[in-house]
Amino acid sequence: MIAESVDEVLLVERADGHAVVTLHRPQARNALSRALRAALHRTMRELDEDDSVRAVVLTGADPAFCAGLDLVELSEAPASLDAGFSDRSDFRRPIPRMSTPVIGAVNGVAVTGGFELALACDFLVASERARFADTHARVGIMPGWGMTVLLPRAVGLRRAVELSTTGNFLDADTALDWGLVNHVVPHAELLPTARGLAEDVAGNDPAGVAQLLQTYREGARVGLDEAFEVEQRASREWLSRRDVADFDERRRAVVERGRQQTAGSAEDDPVTD
């Protein structure tokens, strides 16, 4: 993959149906300056509109994932917090609403606004060097990018309250144990692992993946009974417009892939036809 520089604060690489987006302000631990916020928002929107990109990996230039908002810039220009977003509906989001899955590859510290940026991803892979912290209370600001909404859904209310009120750091292994991240891998394996997962996503039906994401998100906003209705309605609507002529071919491909992943024989393989 060849990296493309975006406003010198962001790198974008494309290959095999996915893109890798790298926050590129290593000297500032990838703090979210006005320029970086604008570039990130614009780039993610463009990737979401690109049919050749079926998954996005978001990471940071070592040694950090993201140190949060650039507090030096913010102290000098408080109005900069309002800048860098193309429409008000997405103003309070670190990335825009996307139908393309975003995999966070957390390579180092993800602090405060950087923690919220990680939480905005659909799922996370962490390096052994990853650390998470919500220091809003220590800095003296309030979260506005979803910390109090998304963190308790990831780790549970009591753990979220502990993290936010103490400002303590959470290491990668504990983040895995608490359900915040999906995988913890050696640092050198972080991007290969995240890219491999992105390729797995890209190998699926893109419209189906987008519908699954939408259904998960709608279900998360309502109670249990209504969430079942959301899923059933989405399933009916999907089948009503889906051509089923290729289902048998797709089923056989799924069976073969399952056998390859489990490396078992047809007799003991859990995936059978």
Write out pLDDT tens, residues 98-120: 999 999 999 999 999 999 999 99
pLDDT, tens digit (0-9, with 9 covering 90-100), for 171-187: 999 999 999 999 999 99
57-94 burial, b at 16+ Cβ within 10 Å, e below that, comes to: bbbbbbebbbbbbbeebbeeeeebbeebbeeeeeeebb
**CA 83, CA 15: separation in Å to the nearest integer?**
31
Q: Are residues 219 and 172 in the same domain?
A: no
Same domain, 60 and 114: yes
- Taking only the tens place, the pLDDT of each residue in 245-262 is 666 666 666 666 677 777
- Other Cβ atoms less than 10 A from the Cβ of 246: the count is 11
**219 and 135 in a common domain:** no
- Residue 215 structural domain: 206-262
- Classified as helix, coil or strand, 4 is strand
Question: Is 269 a domain residue?
Answer: no
Same domain as 238, residue 189: no
Domain contains 273:
no
What is the overall mean pLDDT for the chain? 88
- In angstroms, the Cα distances linking 240 to 209, 233, 235, 244 are 17, 11, 9, 10
pLDDT(88) > 60? no
Specify the number of domains making up the chain.
Answer: 2
**pTM given for the model:** 0.87
Provide the pLDDT for residue 87. 47
* 21-74: pLDDT as tens digits: 999 999 999 999 989 999 999 999 999 999 999 999 999 999 999 999 888 887
Weakest mean pLDDT among 34-43, 210-219, 234-243? 234-243
Query: Would 271 be classed as within a structural domain?
Result: no
- Domain identity same for 114 and 86: yes
Least confident of 102-106, 223-227, 238-242: 238-242
